[in-house]
Structure 1
Amino acid sequence: MTDSATARRIARRTRAALDAAVAAGRDLGLTVTDARVLHDMFSVVVHLAPSPVVARVPTVLPHHVDLDRLARRQRAELEVTRWLADRKVPVIPPSPLVPREPVRRGGFSMTLWQFVEEDRGKEPDYAANCERVADLHAAMRAYPGRLSFLSAAEPRFITESLALLAERPDLIGPAELDRARREWRVLEPLVRSRAAFEDRFPGIDLQPVHGDAPAANVFSGVDGDLFADFELITLGPVEWDMATLGPELESAYNRGARRNGMRPLREDVSRFVNAVGMLRIVSLLALTPQLPLLTRYLPQALDRWRAMPFAGGLAG
């Protein structure tokens, strides 16, 4: 498919998501006359202006994620953010103007959030964000909702992506794909089984965690920073939320952990989550036909993966 054909296909997908969000908002009684797309990557994010509501419409998903599966994930996200917002934890909350449920329109499943004005002049401070992730973890420890163990690792996505990539030598070479598959054979049992994880890492407590790099999912609002995008909320070690961020930012997290009376990150668990996190990045190559923009962001991460010890040094 040519670049121009791909661009047209993505533009049609964005337009369909925008139209679905507008229709959903109007059906829910919102006034929507000036909707605009705020962001378009894995999801199309739409401000349903003039209503103070934002629709997030996932558009780039693994093949196995159907609308029912997606809605279950979205429902968990809405529940945890409502719970956190009720306790004054700085998160973007679900919109109070509509039911707190995923909404289906036009072949999409979307969630609706309170509109927050962005401070566009603020540069992200990842060290400060990582220190605040420990605050988030401290708040989330008491979350009563039932969560699956390390669902954020998306093991089925990794397995299926590595199979799909066997047909795409233009995206990853055979030697690298072989390494990824061998690493996954080491790591997959620890991802899929809580008992296997706890046997390999005794004494590591599990708790609700954000699931998707919360330090990079901090929204700079004009009235302060807010955690966002809890789509992959999961039960896991706190190390999961710091995967692949490196020693300097891990030290920042540990400062926040000490301030909250929590344990610091444990090195062996960090090696494990870093290895799994890098395999998730390798697996994203399988989504480049849906999102060609990924080819701009993945090469540097793949270089880091090539330089890492095999399976985080856990194969011995």
Structure 2
Amino acid sequence: MTTFLTPQQRADRTSAAVEAAVAAGRERGLTVTEPTVLHDVFSVVVHLAPSPVVARIPTVLPRPDDHLAALARRQQDELDVTQWLADQKIPVIAPSPLVPREPVRRDGFSMTFWPFVEEARDKEPDYVANAESVADLHAALCAYPGRLEFLSAADPRFIADSLALLDQHPDLIGAAELDRARREWQFLEPLVRSRSAFEARFPGVDLQPIHGDSPPANIFNAVDGDLYADFELVTLGPVEWDLAALGPEHEAAYNRGARRNGTRPLDEEVLAFVNALGMVRVIATLTLVPQLPELMEYLKPAVDHWRTTPFAAGMST
């Protein structure tokens, strides 16, 4: 049976992350006397008060034993991309100017530092408007000069490893569902692993820097205006990846934004691909439930829906 993290172990992990962030902040000259945890899900996000700096420390990781080097590379990509966007006057949460722009490793964690931005808590997110706004973000990201890996946000190693491990967790997924997920991954994997295979399968579909992690859900409602945020999975890929699993209303909103700024609309076949890939990644994410038990309540509805959908989201073979 699956062994889940206990509440005490979860609290100890959070405390260790906060202590590491406080020590790292003080080492970099920040005054920290009242650290306050703002969020604690996949990452611990702590305001290093009274300094106007927030540390984000990923704590729920696919490969806890060998994650730090790979995590730091992704974090550096995020820092570089968001700083570049800020330099282009794009509304984004950029790295804190009070510390060097680089990931910091301490006590088994790798963390990044961001400005503390006051949230407009009385404002409800408008995800449809956000989806339209993502077309503007993509238009800006087109010009990003840095190098990014192809579809690293999908993390094909994580998917392959997780689908292999799920045999050991029959309480998380049934045998029939796991068999289907593995067959879908066998069909999709070549298009994720190889840029040339993707381009051969989808000729004429351009690749560009994209947010990587559902940007309509990662626009921060700041007091002074909305800001693009949380580029932890920034990657090179088709723009459709950023609209995966959001549905027709959000897709139509994105297309309105694309028409407005002169960029291409979403491609239906690529949407089917990213939707299928996103669902296989949901199945793979079940392996993180032992580290974050409450994750199951969010994944279960998606898995239930997936059972009712065509194989590989109806992609033609």
TM-score by length of 1: 0.98
Q: Verify: 1:106 aligned to 2:107, yes or no.
A: yes
Number of aligned residue pairs: give it.
316
Q: Which residue of 2 aligns with 1:27?
A: 27
Q: Distance in 1 between matches of 2:281 and 2:5?
A: 28
Gaps of 5+ in 1: none
Q: Which residue of 2 aligns with 1:40?
A: 40
Provide, for residues 91-131 of structure 1, a one-character-per-residue CA deviation record: whole Å limited to 9, x for no partner.
Answer: 11100000000011111000000110011111110001000
Q: Which residue of 2 aligns with 1:265?
A: 266
Q: Which residue of 2 aligns with 1:252?
A: 253
Aligned with 1:49: secondary structure?
strand
Q: Which residue of 2 aligns with 1:123?
A: 124
Q: Verify: 1:152 aligned to 2:153, yes or no.
A: yes
How much has 1:313 moved relative to structure 2? Answer: 2.0
How much has 1:314 moved relative to structure 2? Answer: 2.5
Q: Which residue of 2 aligns with 1:62?
A: 62
Q: Distance in 1 between matches of 2:249 and 2:10?
A: 37
Provide, for residues 58-107 of structure 1, a one-character-per-residue CA deviation record: whole Å limited to 9, x for no partner.
Answer: 00000165211110000000000000011111111100000000011111
Q: Which residue of 2 aligns with 1:177?
A: 178
> Is the CA contact (8 Å cut-off) linking 1:219 and 1:226 kept in structure 2?
yes
- Please give the root-mean-square deviation of Cα atoms over the aligned residues, in Å: 1.4
TM-score by length of 2: 0.97
Q: Distance in 2 between matches of 1:5 and 1:190?
A: 35
Q: Distance in 2 between matches of 1:93 and 1:122?
A: 22
Identity %: 71
Q: Which residue of 2 aligns with 1:51?
A: 51
Q: Which residue of 1 aligns with 2:199?
A: 198
Aligned with 2:302: secondary structure?
helix
Give the alignment of 1:301-312 within 5 angstroms: 301-312=302-313
How much has 1:3 moved relative to structure 2? Answer: 9.9
How much has 1:5 moved relative to structure 2? Answer: 6.6
Q: Which residue of 1 aligns with 2:12?
A: 12
Q: Which residue of 2 aligns with 1:279?
A: 280
Q: Distance in 1 between matches of 2:27 and 2:100?
A: 12
Q: Distance in 1 between matches of 2:313 and 2:4?
A: 40
Aligned with 2:8: secondary structure?
helix
Q: Distance in 2 between matches of 1:306 and 1:90?
A: 39
> Is the CA contact (8 Å cut-off) linking 1:36 and 1:46 kept in structure 2?
yes
Gaps of 5+ in 2: none
How much has 1:48 moved relative to structure 2? Answer: 0.4
Runs of 4+ in 1 over 4 A off after TM superposition: 1-5
Q: Distance in 2 between matches of 1:27 and 1:57?
A: 16
Amino acid at match of 1:17: A
- Larger CA deviation: 158-167 vs 173-182: 158-167
